[in-house]
Amino acid sequence: MPRRKARVVSSPTASLPPCPGPKLRPFRHQDASIKWGPRLDTARPETGSQGFVFQAEIASRQYAIKVFKFYHPKSNKFYWETYLGKSYPLRKALFYTDPFYAECRAYGRIKETRDERKVKANVATRCHGYLFLRTEDMNFLRREAGIDFDTNVIDESLKRALGGNIQVRAIVKDLETGQTGVQKHNIEHAWRNVSLLNSLGIYNRDIRADNFMNCRIVDFGLSWTEPHAILDNADVDEAREQRLGDCAQFEEMAELEGIKTTAKIPPFRYNLRPRKKTWKAA
């Protein structure tokens, strides 16, 4: 009898994604009922967004929940194939390109370093784990908030890549108060946080004002966290450029926001020394 291939089944007890590198644990109130509140992401255009952010109450506490649309790596194949080659498995490409997994990997690294007490400060908005939405929550959001999860992109190959689990995925975060953005008086603090994330092998790659709240980054949907297959396969100069990208984006953001600063932003660029750690993706 032919041996059946092992299948990775994402159960709410598994940390995700199932690939080398940091992983995110499930949210501890996986089965608790969710009292959905208002959308928090109404200020940004919906087109091109990775999902939807809601305020919500779970077990008597307020959170921000980012609910992700489905993403198919074939929509971005041209880009990652350049680095990973045409024979790179789609399932593995998903782990390094899906915005949900990007957030899992970044928050997984942040948690690791906090547990090891390497980082004490809240360098990013705190994350409480991932959540698979129950059918009743999916239906509620479809019906009451007109949410389209892009389930139309799901085909057999994506379903296989997701280990057969096509529940809608979400990430539970602290609810930040106040407005998005950076101001003259706190831009240096915001940069310190980005720079610290870079030193942990997390490159945000989407540095702009609406991804900051209280000097902290709220959005890791485009981030790359080491070890990352694309960084490992890019040539040395390209990988270096990618690793320094946040600094350039930060400077652009400051300029766009009209913030003239004496903050030590440019010198940090040259402070990104080669890391002692060697990270390697499979």
CB of 247 to ligand ADP, least distance (A): 20
How far apart, in whole angstroms, are the C-alpha atoms of residue 169 and residue 133? 6
Q: Which residues bind ligand ADP (CB under 6 A)?
A: 40-41, 43-44, 49-51, 53, 64, 66, 125, 173-176, 180, 210-211, 213, 218-219, 221
Q: Minimum Å distance from CB 102 to Mg ion?
A: 12
Q: How far is the CB of 206 from ligand ADP (least distance, A)?
A: 7
Q: Judged by CB, which is closer to ligand ADP: 49, or 186?
A: 49
Output 82 or 179, the one with its CB closest to ligand ADP. 179
Nearer to ligand ADP, 129 or 221 (CB): 221
Residue with tokens 């498995």: 89
Please report, as residue ranges, which positions from 203 to 262 form the binding site for Mg ion (by CB under 5 A): 211, 219
Dihedral sign for Cα atoms in the order 276, 15, 51, 38: negative
Least distance from ligand ADP to the Cβ atom of residue 71, Å: 11
If you write DSSP's letter for every residue of 18-87 in order, what string do you get?
A: SSSS--BPBPTTTTS-EEEEEES-TTS-STT--EEEEEEEETTEEEEEEEEPP--GGGGHHHHHHHH-TT
> Mask of contacts with Mg ion, 160-199, x by CB under 5 A?
----------------------------------------
Residue 14's φ and ψ, nearest 5 degrees, are -85, 145
Measure the CA–CA gap between 56 and 173, rounded to whole angstroms: 10
Structure token digits, residue 44: 């940004």
* Residues 93-130 as b or e (16 or more Cβ within 10 Å = b): bbbbbbbbbbbbbbbbbbbebeeeeebeeebbbbbbbb
First to last CA, the chain: 30
- When CB distances are held under 5 to 8 angstroms depending on the partner's kind, the choice from Mg ion, ligand ADP, none that residue 50 binds is ligand ADP
Binders of Mg ion among residues 50 to 109 (CB under 5 A) are none
Q: Which residue lies nearer to ligand ADP by CB, 53 or 170?
A: 53
Q: Residue 145 CB, nearest distance to ligand ADP (Å)?
A: 14
Given the rule CB under 5 A, which residues bind Mg ion? 211, 219
